Amino acid sequence: MATFRSASVRPSPLLQAPISALFLWTCLWFNLNTGFWNVGMPNSPREWLDLMRALLPFMVLPVSVLLVARRGKLNLPRMSPSRLLTVYGCFATFSTVFSSKPLWSLYWSVAFLATILAAWTFVDRRNSVQSARQLLLITWIATFLVALIIGYMARGSIFGDAETGYGVITELNGLSRSSGVARWAAVPGLVCLVRAYYTRRRSLISFYLGTAAVCFFIVYRMQSRGAIFGAAAAVGFALLVASRLRRYALPFAVVALVTVLYLDPGGNVSSRVGRYLKRGESS
């Protein structure tokens, strides 16, 4: 009986990932919100920390190359997207000598290549699908954490009385639409929406739907066109393409519309839609 139980229990996909791959992918996430402007002589502990975070891609890239070379042949098609992106990254790296700011160009090229090579360290020749699931799970967790931090920092403004997305931005103390507030919220919202359908536990369904509602409200409030149309296209794809979800497409659209109108009252619908589309600007 003990043997049967141990064989039937599936280990967590996260624990099956190579430690080296987990470490390299975590390093790239710690590099988030840094750049070449952080590379210089630091004068404070905060600047030292930012410098070390900014230099992480230059550590990740050579280590990833060594790990991939030791593993041997990758279980990837010859013309796979990641291989083609690697060729693009190599051309970008070589072309930095022609850039007006070669050091800046080199930094972003190295960061680009480091991301692809670090992802390749997850590739398992025996089970490439499982390896991709491990990488995706870690990325989801990191995305949720960043979205949670941003949402907490901007909670007083996003859920305040600002009338438009531009009004929210003026109260965010430096955060803007270009910092990806709406995009960071959209990804957890989409993941939670799909997970809510595929789980049977009522407590998890309530948690997933509640989290998705908060995330999509943040997307709505920030009025970022890329995040709005991207989230709408992704939700539409999930509802219409997946046959099990198709019958929920129209009810979901109605509930979403009613929720937005309830959370953002005042004035008639047409004037609110007009103000929303103008995003605080004149005609």
Which tokens hold the place of 61? 């890239």
Q: Inform me whether the pLDDT recorded for 165 exceeds 70.
A: no
- Please report the pLDDT score of residue 6 as a whole number: 42
138 in any annotated domain = no
Contact in structure between 266 and 272 (CB atoms under 8 Å): yes
193 in any annotated domain = yes
Mean pLDDT of 111-140: 84
Same domain? 66 vs 168: no
Q: Inform me whether the pLDDT recorded for 167 exceeds 70.
A: no
End-to-end CA distance of the chain: 73
Same domain? 230 vs 112: no
Which tokens hold the place of 87? 């060729």
Same domain? 158 vs 278: yes
DSSP letter at 10?
Answer: P
- Please report the pLDDT score of residue 3 as a whole number: 45
CA 28/CA 54 separation, integer angstroms: 9
Number of domains in the chain: 2
**Reported confidence tier of residue 7, pLDDT bands at 50, 70, 90:** very low
Contact in structure between 137 and 200 (CB atoms under 8 Å): no
CA 190/CA 212 separation, integer angstroms: 7
27-41, 53-67, 98-112, 203-217: least confidently modelled range? 203-217
Domain hosting 115: range is 12-126
Strands (E), 101-216: none
- Please report the pLDDT score of residue 175 as a whole number: 54
- Please report the pLDDT score of residue 15 as a whole number: 54
Same domain? 185 vs 247: yes
Same domain? 161 vs 77: no
Same domain? 268 vs 158: yes
Q: How far is CA 49 from CA 58, 111, 114, 138, 150, in A?
A: 15, 18, 20, 23, 20
Mean pLDDT of 136-142: 85
Apex CA 223: angle with CA 221 and CA 228, to 5°?
A: 105
Same domain? 194 vs 89: no
Same domain? 196 vs 83: no
Contact in structure between 219 and 186 (CB atoms under 8 Å): yes
When comparing pLDDT for 278 and 71, which is higher? Answer: 71
When comparing pLDDT for 189 and 252, which is higher? Answer: 189
- What DSSP string runs through 200-267? --HHHHHHHHHHHHHHHHHHHHHT-HHHHHHHHHHHHHHHHHSTTTGGGHHHHHHHHHHHHHHHS-SS
- Provide the whole-model pTM: 0.70
Q: Inform me whether the pLDDT recorded for 114 exceeds 90.
A: yes
158 in any annotated domain = yes
- Closest to 32 in 3D by CA, of 149, 131, 132: 149
CB atoms under 10 Å from CB of 130, counted, come to 14
Same domain? 239 vs 168: yes
Residue type, 233: A
67 in any annotated domain = yes
Which tokens hold the place of 170? 């003026």
- Please report the pLDDT score of residue 9 as a whole number: 46
Q: Inform me whether the pLDDT recorded for 270 exceeds 90.
A: no
Same domain? 173 vs 89: no
Helices H, strands E: what count in the chain?
Answer: 15, 0
280 in any annotated domain = yes
Same domain? 187 vs 226: yes
Residue for token digits 């390093």? 27
Torsion of CA 22, 86, 61, 92, to 10 degrees: -140
- Please report the pLDDT score of residue 168 as a whole number: 61
Same domain? 182 vs 99: no
pLDDT tens string 62-99: 999 999 888 777 777 888 898 999 999 999 999 998 99
145 in any annotated domain = no
Long-range contacts of 264-268 (CB under 8 A, 24+ apart): 264/220
1 in any annotated domain = no
Domain boundary among 90, 111, 126: 126
Whole-number average pLDDT of the chain: 78
- Most confidently predicted of 12-21, 53-62, 272-281: 53-62
pLDDT tens string 244-268: 655 666 676 677 777 766 666 555 5
When comparing pLDDT for 164 and 85, which is higher? Answer: 85
Give the rounded percent of residues in the chain with a pLDDT score beyond 70. Answer: 72
Distance of CA 192 to the CA centre of its chain: 13
146 in any annotated domain = no
